[in-house]
Chain A
Amino acid sequence: MDASVSPKTSLSSTFESDVRKVVPAEHVRAAAASDAVAGVQPTLVVEPGNEQELAKVLKLANTAGLAVIPRGGGTKLEWGNPPERSDLILSTARMNRVIEHAWADLTVSVQAGCTVAKLQDTVAKHGQRLALDPLWSEQATIGGVLSTNDSGALRLRFGSLRDLVIGATVALADGTVASSGGKVVKNVAGYDLPKLVTGAFGTLGVITRAIFRLHPLPKETQTISFLTVDAMEAQRLVLAIQNSKLVHSALQICCGVEMQPRVDILFEGTEAGLSAQSAQLKLMAGEAIQDDSTSEVWNRRHEMFSRTENDGDSFAVAKFTTLPAEIAQTAEMIGKIAASGLRWGAVAQATGIGLVRMDGAVPDIAAGLRRMREWLETRGGSLVIEQRPAGMGELEAWGNSGDALGLMQAVKRQFDPQGTLNPGRFVGGI
């Protein structure tokens, strides 16, 4: 950001020895080829053992004018734009503890490097969960999931991270460690910084700790699926369910080339409640045919990213947002765009958030995604590229970030004036 800071190709020995004074030597190592971030090779990997160490390393890097890439489980490092510069990987791998599960208060405090799965296992001992189903929970860490604002099908009922996070501690580029929010669910004291850092891609600070509200694990769950003749019928069913008094935890439409559209719905609750609700649902289904179903259908998002490339084709995955009532229209539009030689598949939640995958030749994918983005943006939606094939680097990940971009850049300047953290990865060059 600051022109006076020139990119460095190697780190000074003073910097490395300063880092080793903060973090034990065995947790400071030269970066390997596998540490590259979207094709950009860093020099050093540092794994601090705690918040203070992390903040000190960050401050040293900031003072030295280095670019820092925070890393959790490394599952989503390809998301966003490739970094402009990358000197140091700051890993939260060792900061992986569940600090406190206040089960009677339905809250949990956790270090950023803890995996989602470990957190879920811990709180499940008291019949609770973080009501969030992000991608790759075995590897994905709390810090990474927060930074990328990843959410899954449960979002329809429980909201996204912004609705679940009640407190966060962040290390800023200058070494400041700041907390906001707290461990009570209801709290309006001061600015809501946990929301600011959620989805900020680590460009404002490194999340070191977070506190979440929890929900009880459901007593019973039931997944029901329907096949529909086309996307419009799937849409009609979804809107009818949304406009009904059913209480469902997730609702999604899956469609794609040479695939009959399907609607999946998840109920959670007591046995009595579930049977009454599924009976009501069947009355609403109309012409749609009930299909065999298991909870596996809720892994569709994962399948979108699986590396099954046919005939040497490449693929890309993008997140799209649309109005809930325009999901079918979006699917039809993708179908039209893809008609020129792309295979595609999409899974969209009733919230209007979906994932689309396109398989084919790289230039066709790039052209397809561009057209799709244009179509969505004119309707107030968006398209963000999450997984891109090699050779599609020129397609910007985020698209239009609206008339508040100047304000976002001002926030970035306040938090990280030198552009130390994840330079160039976020919207508008942030």
Chain B
Amino acid sequence: MASGISQPRETHIVDARIVDARIFDELREIVGPRGLITSREELHTYECDGLTNFRVLPRAVLLPDSAEQVQKIVRVCHREKIPFVARGSGTGLSGGALPVENGVVISLTRMNKILEVDIPNARVTVEPGVINLDVTARVAPQEYFYAPDPSSQSVCSIGGNVAENSGGAHCLKYGFTTTHVLGLEVVLADGSLVHLGGKTLDAPGYDLMGVFVGSEGTLGIATKIILRIVKRPECVQTLLAAFPSTNEAGAAVSDMIAAGMLPAAIEMMDNLAIQAAEAAVHANYPNCGALLLVELDGPVAEVAALMAHVDEICKKNSAWEIRVAQSDAERALVWKGRKAAFAAMGRISPNYIVQDGVIPRTELPNVMREIGRLSKEAGLRVANVFHAGDGNLHPLVLYDRRISGQEEVAETLSGKILELCIGAGGSITGEHGVGEDKKKMMSKMYSEPDLETMQRVRCAFDPLQLSNPSKIFPRPRLCGEKPGEYVAHPLETAGIAERF
């Protein structure tokens, strides 16, 4: 990272007093001796999240078991100006839960209770450490489910999903985490507790809940979350079609959309991704140029009518093999290959970088061609897995760390792919978040006034910038300044900070 980018952040680090023994004692008092981790060996568990190439050892890890404890911890942090990073299951892929130097990690795994299940109103209230899939498991007997389904859903936490606004394969039809969160209890960076949204809709006031979801832990810590649950559809059918290349598969997707369909999911994998998935989980995929997985759900008669149409569209676009999963077991197998696709890369490459770009769906042929060209140019293979319905690409750049210089080449290639997405009118991240990983790319996607305006929200929530500082924004804004006109920040006047 360029030193110019990190410098304003230093003000907090310099400013934050070293967490001393007295503070440890105070924190231990709050969470009990088993709720405070300070030994180096144990701290290593928390030095990174799912994006392992960034690592920072926190000063301490705290494991509160109530909102009240979170408040008390945060009050201490606020008083001592200690930056803190909230952490759920640590499965994030953008370094959002990466600790900050001299800061503490607040792990919410002990706050894992489902507090209320309200079937008539289709609401479930949970603590942030509850695992995504456990919500569905809890309401499955009443035939409901929690719709957002990131691939990590068996281990990732709802609190983490809220921070990242997690998506998943089915958000094409069902929406993202933000669609399914109705209310939040939040501990702000000064330790105060506020309620955003609620069990009823349209609470009077600004939709601060809408801004909080997806703010990657930079606006505070959610300690209670009210979720919307959805009734299971009457039937689900999954079609798998083999195409000569991603072009034909992409054309089929466009035809489905043009025909007015909104499938529950449309997923695409290219040949390299198929090979990897086959090697890893033997999903029995056909060996083809591109594979399309189309899931329809809803009333039986509706699904039957639409499935016939999907089949027709696939054939028209040169699909040479079409299968419809006939049972739950078959459907699970079809999805297993897709959901395991990232991990499967390990079978065909020692290392890989996962990207998360988004493009308008119609740009797919152009962007694929360009990715192919860039891949050839760099001499590295790129496997492609997409949420094709909503244009979310997951190019996987394969490389070997042991070969000198190859990691850098892979990172450059990966960055170029994101620039390609921005150039096509898309986004640098569809569901993984900006975190530490992509903050440099933010200035390529947004103008300076755009980023400055976003940070006004940050300044309203957390003027000292203690909550997960140094994430998302390439250049933090000093909150003492009056928006819109230049007024020297007290830190600047004191010579501690510099403006860029």
Q: Which residues of A contact B (CB under 8 A)?
A: 102-107, 127, 149, 159-160, 162-163, 170, 172-180, 182-193, 195-196, 198-200, 204, 215-217, 219, 239, 242-247, 269-270, 272-273, 275-277, 319, 321-325, 351-353, 380-382, 384, 398-408, 410-411, 413-415, 417, 426-428
- Interface digits, B214-248 against A, CB 8 Å rule (1 contact, 0 not)? 11000000000000000111100000000000000
27 contacts between A and B (CB under 8 A): A102-B362, A105-B362, A127-B260, A159-B175, A180-B446, A184-B427, A186-B358, A186-B427, A187-B429, A188-B164, A189-B442, A190-B446, A190-B454, A190-B472, A191-B215, A192-B165, A192-B178, A247-B298, A272-B304, A277-B299, A324-B120, A352-B121, A411-B208, A411-B456, A413-B460, A414-B456, A415-B483
With contact pairs A172-B484, A192-B178 given, residues A427 and B204 touching in the complex (Cβ less than 8 Å): yes
Is the beta-carbon distance between B206 and A411 smaller than 8 angstroms? yes
12 extra A-B contacts, CB within 8 A, seeds A186-B171, A196-B207, A242-B231: A149-B202, A188-B165, A188-B427, A191-B215, A195-B211, A245-B143, A402-B194, A404-B196, A407-B194, A407-B460, A414-B459, A415-B456
A415–B453 CA distance with the chains assembled, in angstroms: 8
Is the beta-carbon distance between A324 and B484 smaller than 8 angstroms? no
A173–B484 CA distance with the chains assembled, in angstroms: 9
How distant is B382 from chain A, measured CB to nearest CB, in Å?
Answer: 20
Say yes or no: is B41 at the interface (Cβ < 8 Å to chain A).
no
A402–B209 CA distance with the chains assembled, in angstroms: 13
A162–B427 CA distance with the chains assembled, in angstroms: 19
A239–B178 CA distance with the chains assembled, in angstroms: 24
8 Å CB contacts to A: which residues of B352-409? 358-362, 387, 390-392
A102–B426 CA distance with the chains assembled, in angstroms: 13
User: Most chain-A Cβ atoms within 10 A of its Cβ — which of B167, B234, B300?
Assistant: B234
Q: List the A side residues contacting B495 at CB < 8 Å.
A: none
Is the beta-carbon distance between B426 and A184 smaller than 8 angstroms? yes
Q: Which of A127, A192, A243, A401 contacts B214 (CB 8 A)?
A: A192
Q: List the B side residues contacting A398 at CB < 8 Å.
A: 204-205
Say yes or no: is B335 at the interface (Cβ < 8 Å to chain A).
no
Is the beta-carbon distance between B432 and A182 smaller than 8 angstroms? no
Is the beta-carbon distance between B430 and A184 smaller than 8 angstroms? yes
A398–B204 CA distance with the chains assembled, in angstroms: 6
How distant is B122 from chain A, measured CB to nearest CB, in Å?
Answer: 7
Q: Which of B208, B302, B428 contacts A189 (CB 8 A)?
A: B428
How distant is B468 from chain A, measured CB to nearest CB, in Å?
Answer: 13
Q: Which residues of B contact A (CB under 8 A)?
A: 119-122, 143, 164-165, 167, 171-172, 175-176, 178-179, 188, 193-196, 198-208, 210-211, 213-215, 231-234, 254, 257-258, 260-262, 298-302, 304-306, 358-362, 387, 390-392, 425-434, 438, 442, 445-447, 449-454, 456-461, 472, 482-485
Residue of A nearest to B358 (CB): A184
With contact pairs A184-B360, A353-B202, A427-B205 given, residues A104 and B305 touching in the complex (Cβ less than 8 Å): no
Q: List the A side residues contacting B257 at CB < 8 Å.
A: 104, 106, 216
Is the beta-carbon distance between B450 and A180 smaller than 8 angstroms? yes
With contact pairs A196-B210, A199-B207, A408-B208 given, residues A189 and B434 touching in the complex (Cβ less than 8 Å): yes
A415–B488 CA distance with the chains assembled, in angstroms: 18
Is the beta-carbon distance between B425 and A184 smaller than 8 angstroms? yes
Q: List the A side residues contacting B425 at CB < 8 Å.
A: 182-184
Q: List the A side residues contacting B442 at CB < 8 Å.
A: 189-190
A399–B387 CA distance with the chains assembled, in angstroms: 43
Q: List the B side residues contacting A198 at CB < 8 Å.
A: 207, 210
Is the beta-carbon distance between B204 and A399 smaller than 8 angstroms? yes
With contact pairs A172-B453, A180-B453, A239-B120 given, residues A104 and B254 touching in the complex (Cβ less than 8 Å): yes
Is the beta-carbon distance between A246 and B188 smaller than 8 angstroms? no
Residue of A nearest to B306 (CB): A270
Residue of B nearest to A326 (CB): B121
Residue of A nearest to B428 (CB): A189
Is the beta-carbon distance between B262 and A216 smaller than 8 angstroms? yes
A237–B340 CA distance with the chains assembled, in angstroms: 43
A272–B305 CA distance with the chains assembled, in angstroms: 7
Q: List the A side residues contacting B233 at CB < 8 Å.
A: 245, 247
Q: Which of A163, A180, A191, A402 contacts B195 (CB 8 A)?
A: A402
Q: List the B side residues contacting A172 at CB < 8 Å.
A: 453, 483-484
Is the beta-carbon distance between A174 and B460 smaller than 8 angstroms? no
Q: Which of A186, A272, A414 contacts B391 (CB 8 A)?
A: A186
With contact pairs A186-B358, A273-B299, A414-B483 given, residues A219 and B202 touching in the complex (Cβ less than 8 Å): no
A192–B201 CA distance with the chains assembled, in angstroms: 18
Residue of A nearest to B188 (CB): A407
Q: List the B side residues contacting A415 at CB < 8 Å.
A: 453, 456, 483
Residue of B nearest to A247 (CB): B298
A103–B361 CA distance with the chains assembled, in angstroms: 11
Q: Which of A174, A200, A247, A321 contacts B200 (CB 8 A)?
A: A321
Q: Which of A183, A319, A404, A417 contacts B208 (CB 8 A)?
A: A404
Is the beta-carbon distance between B426 and A195 smaller than 8 angstroms? no
Residue of B nearest to A185 (CB): B390
Is the beta-carbon distance between A184 and B483 smaller than 8 angstroms? no
Is the beta-carbon distance between A351 and B201 smaller than 8 angstroms? yes
Is the beta-carbon distance between B194 and A193 smaller than 8 angstroms? no
How distant is B191 from chain A, measured CB to nearest CB, in Å?
Answer: 13
Q: List the A side residues contacting B431 at CB < 8 Å.
A: 186, 188
Q: List the A side residues contacting B438 at CB < 8 Å.
A: 189
Is the beta-carbon distance between B231 and A400 smaller than 8 angstroms? no
Q: List the B side residues contacting A163 at CB < 8 Å.
A: 175, 179
How distant is A331 from chain B, measured CB to nearest CB, in Å?
Answer: 16
Is the beta-carbon distance between B194 and A245 smaller than 8 angstroms? no
Is the beta-carbon distance between A192 and B210 smaller than 8 angstroms? yes
Is the beta-carbon distance between B231 and A404 smaller than 8 angstroms? no
Q: List the A side residues contacting B434 at CB < 8 Å.
A: 188-190
Q: Which of B122, B254, B260, B433 contacts A217 (CB 8 A)?
A: B260
With contact pairs A186-B392, A187-B427, A216-B262 given, residues A104 and B206 touching in the complex (Cβ less than 8 Å): no
A105–B392 CA distance with the chains assembled, in angstroms: 12
Q: List the B side residues contacting A414 at CB < 8 Å.
A: 456-457, 459-460, 483
A173–B358 CA distance with the chains assembled, in angstroms: 32
Residue of B nearest to A170 (CB): B453
Q: List the B side residues contacting A276 at CB < 8 Å.
A: 299-302
Is the beta-carbon distance between A189 and B210 smaller than 8 angstroms? no
Q: Which of B119, B360, B450, B456 contacts A183 (CB 8 A)?
A: B360
A176–B300 CA distance with the chains assembled, in angstroms: 52
Q: List the A side residues contacting B387 at CB < 8 Å.
A: 186
Residue of A nearest to B441 (CB): A189
A249–B254 CA distance with the chains assembled, in angstroms: 24
Is the beta-carbon distance between B260 and A216 smaller than 8 angstroms? yes
Residue of A nearest to B165 (CB): A188
A292–B444 CA distance with the chains assembled, in angstroms: 57
Q: Which of A176, A196, A217, A243 contacts B119 (CB 8 A)?
A: A243
How distant is B280 from chain A, measured CB to nearest CB, in Å?
Answer: 26
Is the beta-carbon distance between B430 and A104 smaller than 8 angstroms? no
Q: List the B side residues contacting A428 at CB < 8 Å.
A: 205
With contact pairs A182-B427, A184-B391 given, residues A404 and B362 touching in the complex (Cβ less than 8 Å): no
Is the beta-carbon distance between B165 and A325 smaller than 8 angstroms? no
Is the beta-carbon distance between B391 and A105 smaller than 8 angstroms? yes
Q: List the B side residues contacting A219 at CB < 8 Å.
A: 260
